[in-house]
Amino acid sequence: MTPAEPDDRSLIATIAKTGDPRAFHLLYQRHSGVLFAMAARLLDDRSDAEDAVHDTWLRAMQASGRFHGAAMVRTWLVGILINRVRELRRARPLECLDAMPDLAEPGAVTPDRALEAIDVSRALAEMPERYREVVVLHDIQGFTHDEVAAALGIAPGTSRSQLVRGREWLRRALHVPLETTDE
């Protein structure tokens, strides 16, 4: 964002007041990268991710007049996206959320071998939703625990504990030896 460009809250207010598409364009440019990346990681499907981001913007802009500014716009948008992602996932066939997958052959990921992207992608795809959301937001998208908590509607402490469990789940799924106890 250049100094001359309005901040996110101003853009939201402009959209609510005038429906100016240029304000939407600026917001879209700032946040759609994160939203789409998150949706793609959480849904494992680009088409579904596209639908999720589309619906997120539609819901957010329709609610722009009710945005109070207490939260960051990015966190607000992510919260809406998460809700939509959950709806889309619920519409899918049931998954065994707590099953611990055997994604990699035993020994496939050795200390000498970095985790391959495909292994991580597969592991994330199989990860229970409650862990995956926190891991994707925190470890991949770089959100703080406060931001994760705001987006998911949970306490920061819950975000921390879910992250620890999510990482533990990933380690097991990827056969990464556990060298230490978390937090």
Partner 1 sequence: MNDDKPESLDRLAQGFARLPNVDVPPGLEGRILHSLLNAGVLRRTPHRVWPRLVGLGVALVLFGAGLGIGAQFARPRRIATTTREPQYLLLLYSGAGPQVEDVAAHRHWASDLAAHGHAIYGERLDAFATRIEHGVSTTAAPADTLLAGFFIVSAPSANVAETIAASSPHARHGGRVVMYRIRPT
Binding site for partner 1 (CB under 8 A): 15, 18-22, 24-25, 28, 32-33, 36-37, 40-41, 46, 49-50, 53-54, 57-58, 61-62, 64, 111, 114-117, 119-121, 139-140, 145, 160, 163-164, 167, 170-171, 174, 176-183
Length of the chain, please? 183
Sign of CA dihedral 180, 138, 114, 125: positive
Least distance between partner 1 and beta carbon 94 (Å): 26
Cβ–Cβ < 8 Å for 52, 78: no
Minimal distance in Å, beta carbon 38 to partner 1? 9
- Closer to partner 1 by CB, 73 or 163: give it: 163
User: In this structure, how many other beta carbons lie within 10 angstroms of the beta carbon of residue 35?
Assistant: 22
Quick check: 138 and 103 in contact, CB under 8 A?
Answer: no
Indicate the residue type of 150: A
Nearer of residues 79 and 156 to partner 1, judged by Cβ: 156
